[in-house]
Amino acid sequence: LSFTISAIFSLVFKSKKPIYLTMLLLLSAAILNTIIIKKPALKKNEKEFSHPTVVQNLQKMIKHETIKSNIDLNDQVREAYMNELKQLFPTVFKEMELRLVSRSFLLHYKYETDPQKPFLIMCHSDVVDATGDWTNPPFSGVVKDNKIYGRGTFDTKGSLCAMLQAAEDLFSQKKLTRSFYIFSSFDEETTHVGAPEVVEYFKKENIILDFVLDEGGAIIDPPFPGLKHRCAMIALAEKGQMTIKFTATSNGGHSSQPPRITPLSTLAKLVLVTPKMFTNRVHPITLQTFKSIAPYMKFPLRFILGNGWLFKPLVKLVLLINSTSAAMLRTTNVFTIAQAGTEFNVVPREASMVANFRFGLHQDYNESKCLMEKVCKKLNVKMDVISGCKNSKIATTGEKYKFLTKTIDKVFGDVIITPYFALGGTDARFFGDVCDNVYRFIPLSVSTDQLLRMHGIDENIDVSTLMQAVEFYKEIILGQNKQ
């Protein structure tokens, strides 16, 4: 705005001095901001937490193969898992009302004299398949080198076990004076039926939640070059998505006399032009991410990232370096399925491809869909939306967010706490209709290698971080008691 005003003055008075002066003032402000920017001290929590039964409980939970395909085909898998939970956490199921909603379960503790809105903590129980050559059987829960191995340890039976263990301990100590819910779905990895049905139940009962805490962020290795501290990533929002099937047709023909345009050549054009339809934009949440980590960076990144308000073009260039960070700028798309002819010498009469889109926060479902409809109309391609959902609501960074950051700092200590928005999808996105404070963070500290194994081979977490997770959920529940 300052630069625009100075440019107008320059045109009116035919002098470049206002522009130079404005540039100098803005640069001076950025330098001053870099010099005075505060670097909060990070103190490692040396306390070692001990919860002897939680490791055994997680091992037993892992042994239940709640794979998405098993849940779809066999309700006995879910029933056996629920019976196991009742045995592992008897006080929780005694003190909390159990409600089975479609493919999910909801536990509710109501403290009669609590005037506040209830809060909800959640993580899903279903897991993805465990193919490949695992070092240890994927559903054994083997403990080796102080790590627990098994499908779901990180995504997300580990954190679910920790929150149930925390509630079990607190109920046994009779310390709870706050109404709250624990929720877990069996279809987060697939159809997302359970979470919406629970939200509909809340709407029907006129229940508004104080805050919601789900998966979507964790404590990870330094995510940027030059950063030495681990980061606790709290997702304030998540991208919406859309899956589209594109179909092109022709009269077919023999490969010896191919037409100039074929279904496959048309779809090839579509593949090439689709990424060009979406713009890059640095979202305010991304600027807040960089503002949080900038004090711990060295020059020049500290100067650039700490003044994102001035250096947005440079921030954009930094993010475009790799595909992961570039996804924070734009709507992404990838073509994942293709079908066409079956004979090598016959031009197919029809070809189709399926693509998955994840929306940038500035180009939501409707705009992205409209852009693709224009492209398809120009190329004469049929477009069918298979599924889709809008971007989630953006959570607030007020009282509840500050309470969450204080709890992370108390339990983990030596980590940079920063907001961001999640690139993947979670059950949390459905709860925006009944809560303004929906956060995505599980209290598990994982290395880059452990993070990459989330849906891969040898998924695992450290025993020590499972202990921290129990303590974290205790602090969350007890902290709400105090409030």
CATH number for 376: 3.30.70.360
Tell me if 20 is assigned to some domain.
yes
Contacts made by residues 303-312, CB under 8 angstroms, sequence distance 24+: 303/30, 303/31, 303/34, 306/33, 306/34, 306/37, 307/30, 307/33, 307/34, 308/282, 310/26, 310/29, 310/30, 311/30, 312/282, 312/287
Clarify whether residues 249 and 272 are in a common domain.
yes
Look up residue 121 and give its two tokens.
């903590």
Tell me if 451 is assigned to some domain.
yes
Residues ≥6 apart with Cβ < 8 Å to 9: 15, 18
Tell me if 30 is assigned to some domain.
yes
Among 388, 423, 454, residue at a domain's last position: 388
Look up residue 202 and give its two tokens.
């809340």
Look up residue 321 and give its two tokens.
């370096």
Among 388, 410, 434, residue at a domain's last position: 388
Q: Is 152 left (phi over 0), alpha (psi -120 to 50) or beta?
A: left
Clarify whether residues 420 and 377 are in a common domain.
no
Clarify whether residues 202 and 347 are in a common domain.
no
CATH number of 155's domain: 3.40.630.10
Tell me if 404 is assigned to some domain.
yes
Q: What is the Cα–Cα distance from 246 to 477, expressed in whole angstroms?
A: 48
* Number of structural domains found in the chain: 3
Clarify whether residues 213 and 354 are in a common domain.
no
Tell me if 311 is assigned to some domain.
no
Look up residue 295 and give its two tokens.
């004090």
Clarify whether residues 368 and 403 are in a common domain.
no
Clarify whether residues 30 and 59 are in a common domain.
no
Exposed, middle or buried by CB within 10 Å (0-12, 13-18, 19+), for 81?
Answer: buried
The CA angle 218-159-241, to the nearest 5 degrees, is 60
Clarify whether residues 251 and 105 are in a common domain.
no
Clarify whether residues 378 and 401 are in a common domain.
no
Tell me if 299 is assigned to some domain.
no
Residue of 115, 111, 145, 152 whose CA lies nearest to 130:
152
Q: What is the Cα–Cα distance from 177 to 183, expressed in whole angstroms?
A: 19
Clarify whether residues 344 and 400 are in a common domain.
no
Can you give the pLDDT at residue 153? 98
- DSSP 3-state of 333: strand
- Report pTM: 0.89
Tell me if 212 is assigned to some domain.
yes
Clarify whether residues 6 and 137 are in a common domain.
no
Order across the sheet with 350-358: list the strands. 332-339, 350-358, 241-249, 382-389
Tell me if 351 is assigned to some domain.
yes
Clarify whether residues 268 and 374 are in a common domain.
yes
Residue of 81, 119, 128, 127 whose CA lies nearest to 100:
81
Clarify whether residues 372 and 448 are in a common domain.
no
Residue 354 domain boundaries: 242-279+334-388
The total of other beta-carbon atoms located within 10 Å of residue 294's CB is 21
* Mean per-residue pLDDT pooled into runs of 10, the chain (483 residues): 51 54 64 65 75 94 88 78 97 96 91 89 96 95 97 97 97 90 94 92 96 97 88 96 96 92 96 96 92 87 80 85 87 96 94 97 94 97 95 95 96 94 94 97 97 96 97 92 61
Q: What is the Cα–Cα distance from 218 to 417, expressed in whole angstroms?
A: 10
